[in-house]
Each structure stands twice: as C-alpha cells, then as structure tokens.
Amino acid sequence: MADPKDWIGLSLLSGIGPAKLSRLFYDDWTPQRLLAQTDHSPFAISSENRTQLIDFVDQRGALWEQCCEVEASLTSLNARLLMPDSDDYPPLLRAAPDHPILLFVKGNVEALHLPMIALVGSRHASAGGLRHAYQFSKALTEAGFVVSSGLALGIDGEAHKAAVELQKPTIAVMGTGIDKVYPARHKGLAEAILASSGALVSELLPGAPPLAPHFPRRNRIISGLSTGVLVVEAAVKSGSLITARQALQQGREVFALPGSIDHPGSRGCHALIRQGATLVESMDHMVDELRGFLGGYRAFVDTAQQKTIQKRVSAIPTMEQAPLLEADLSELDASQQRVLQGIDYSHTFVEDICLNLSLAHDQLSTVLVELELFGWIESVAGGYRRIR
C-alpha cells in the first residue's frame, strides 16, 4: 500500500491539484521516483518543488513538518485518511473516474460501504422544499439507505436532520477540513451525525477553510459515494445541478422533484427532468425506483460474506465448485458478461478495458460498479482484477 505521508506531501506542492495528484498516484510517481527521474520523464517538477522533496525524503524541512502536523491532527480528531488502494475506501467512489486520492473521514467508516443516496438542493429553500427534503430523507433512511449531503443550510441540513432523528447514519461531505464545520451553526448537527454512527468526509486537509472553489469540488464526492442523487429544489445555476451533472458523468441515477413553474427553485429540477432525470412524485415512487439498488447491495454483502467463509475453508476451489462458479454467469446481462471477459484475474487497467471493448468511460463505469457490487471483480490501483 502507498505511504499516505508521501501523497499528503505531494498534494502540498505548488501546481499539484486533484487531477495531477491522481495521475501521479496511479503511475506510482512517489517523491523518491520524482527525484530520480530523467529529463525525459513525463512529470517535470520545478526547482522549488525539487528542493522541498529532497528535504522531505530526508525527513526534514517545512514540507515534512506539515505532513507530521496533518498526521497529528488526524490522531487528535480520531479521524482516518483513506486512499484508493485501501479496502476501506468506498468502492462506489473509487469507481468514479474523478475520485479523490486523499479522503479524510471522521466517524463510522463502515457507513461509507452501505447503499447511499445523495439528497441535495438549495441553501435558500422554500418551506415546502425543506419539508420535502426532510420527508424524503426519512423515507429513504427507513427503507435502508444512507442519505448523503453537503452539511449546508437549507435542503442539506434537513436531509441530515431526518436521519439523525431516526438515529441512523448519514454522511456529510464537507467543503472544508473535517475539523472546520461550515456553516458554524451546523456544529451541533455535525456532532449529532457522529453520535448516530454517521461520518464527516472531506478531501481537504485538516484546517482547510470554506473557500468558494472547495464546494464544487466536494460535489463530485457526494455523487460519487451514492448510487443516485435526488435534487429537491435548485436554481438553474447552482451547486446542486453541478452535483447532478457529475452524477450523470459518473453513471449514477438522477432524480428530481418537480415544483411550481412560478418558483425559481423549481427551474433547476425541471431542467434536469427535461434532460432525462427521473421525475419523482412521491416518497413511495422514489423508494420503488431504488429497490433494485438496495437488492444489489445486499447481494454484494452476501457474496462478500460467502467469499470470506470459503477462504477460511479452502483457498483453492475444488473441481466440484468450479461448475457452480461458471453457472453464476447467468446472473449477468450481456454487457456485464462482455466487460467481465475483458478483465484478467491478475490486473487490467481501466484504460485497457475501454480500448479493448470500445466502450465510453461513463458506460463502462456503470458496469464496473455493478460487477464489483456483485462480487465478480475488485478494484486495484488504476484498474480491476477478476476474483471469481
């Protein structure tokens, strides 16, 4: 597994954003390898960054001290850093092409592996919008889903409150470090989320303030964690619609609640419905639409548990077991079987799967998520490998 301190250090260098950090991570460009590169290497580093990395590798200097401070903060916060090569990293998020390399989590990490639905909307919601957010969150939570949102005022807050009042987990994805609750009035809500076995999540280092660019970035995590996104109330130009667009790019389902044509907060939802989002008219309608997702998650959990039992009995399947594994292919549709056949038992990069099967990345991502949920493949650095 990667050394987290290496990637924290690289993320602190000038010119290293989320996209470049991801490329460095999946191509295994550690600080040591960057320093050893030749002039023809694909990742050139500035002289300033090189000087910092030299000190970092020698475990001294400002960059090294910053990384130590981050680790100390995580310890004091009783928080964790998850990276894509960790078994605890959320599998749905890892399947999203733009997933973060650094994921800081405070609270119940296991909640990130439960079936999740994002519920988002306006910070300046109407009384009806707030009521709908609460009611839909309550219904989804009671149906067995974990509701995720952004801890903002308005729709987000009501979505979290419904789960908390049921004493069920909910996930708050933050546009700050996990030690900086924003808005401040939601500090009590954040504490209640932790007390109800939920979690606070951020890709930002502890201490990161609520800067405007942070919030569009966090929206892709909200959608990436979830099987679907419900937009309750949103303007045409809003963060909620950014979340919905990112959900579509990640191969997730998008649902929208219609409203009055006279209300500006309904226009974003109506735009999504015109673009193909599922129109939701009632809580029962929403839950019915999502039952298939819940069944998929349960099958995934059952398969994982069965695999654990089998490993304890024998590491190698007998000849009698082999026909059963082959017969299981009938559970998959044609596209799932086609993608599965393109994945090796050792390791296959996502780019190679796209190239060999001539599939669009968003279409492939959906099938990969399904195969992983049903226990046919598992994610490894930069790709997947078949496990049965």
Domain residue ranges in the chain: 4-77, 93-289, 314-386
Q: Which of 129, 162, 122, 135 is nearest to 146 (CA)?
A: 162
pLDDT at position 331, please?
A: 66
Q: What is the pLDDT of residue 311?
A: 34
Fold of 93-289: Rossmann fold (3.40.50)
**Which stretches of the chain are DSSP H helices?**
4-11, 18-26, 31-36, 47-57, 61-77, 91-95, 127-142, 155-165, 187-195, 214-225, 239-249, 267-274, 283-313, 322-327, 334-341, 350-357, 361-373
Please give the Cα distance from 114 to 100 (Å, whole number). 19
**C-alpha distance from residue 308 to each of 150, 303, 311, 312, 346 (Å):** 35, 9, 5, 6, 19
Choose among 158, 138, 154: nearest CA to 146: 138
pLDDT reported for residue 326? 38
pTM of the predicted protein model = 0.74
Q: What is the largest CA-CA distance in the chain?
A: 67
Cis peptide before 209 (omega within 30 of 0): no
pLDDT at 142: 92
Task: Please state whether 173 falls in left (phi above 0), alpha (psi between -120 and 50) or beta.
Answer: beta
Q: Residues of 346-356 as b/e, b for ≥16 C-beta within 10 angstroms?
A: eebebeebbee
Contact 265, 296 (CB under 8 A): no
Residue 152 has a CB neighbour count (10 Å cut-off) of: 23
**Contact call for residues 141 and 254 (beta carbons, < 8 A):** no
How confident is the model at residue 315, as a pLDDT? Answer: 31
Fold agreement between 93-289 and 314-386:
no
Q: What is the pLDDT of residue 321?
A: 33
314-386, CATH topology level: Arc Repressor Mutant, subunit A (1.10.10)
Q: Looking at the DSSP assignment, which residues form a beta bridge with residue 201?
A: 105, 173
**Distant-in-sequence, close-in-space partners of 98: CB < 8 Å, separation ≥ 6:** 18, 19, 22, 220, 224, 246, 250
Cβ atoms of residues 56 and 63 within 8 Å: yes
Residue 157's nearest CA partner among 191, 130, 194, 195 is: 130
Beta-bridged to residue 228, according to DSSP, are 117, 253
Q: What is the pLDDT of residue 42?
A: 64
- Whether 178 and 200 have beta carbons less than 8 Å apart is answered as yes
- Report how far residue 372's alpha carbon sits from residue 384's, in angstroms, rounded to the nearest whole number: 9
pLDDT at 262: 66
- Residues 346, 270 contacting (CB under 8 angstroms): no
pLDDT score of 269: 82
Residue by residue, pLDDT tens for the chain (388 residues) are 678 999 999 999 988 888 889 989 998 889 998 888 765 566 778 889 999 999 999 999 999 999 999 999 999 999 999 999 999 999 989 988 889 999 999 999 999 999 999 999 888 888 888 999 999 999 999 988 999 999 999 999 999 999 999 999 999 999 999 999 999 999 999 999 999 999 999 999 999 999 988 988 898 999 999 988 899 887 777 777 788 887 877 778 888 888 777 676 777 788 888 877 888 878 787 777 776 665 555 554 444 444 433 433 333 233 233 332 333 566 677 888 888 888 877 678 777 787 778 777 666 877 887 776 666 787 666 677 787 7
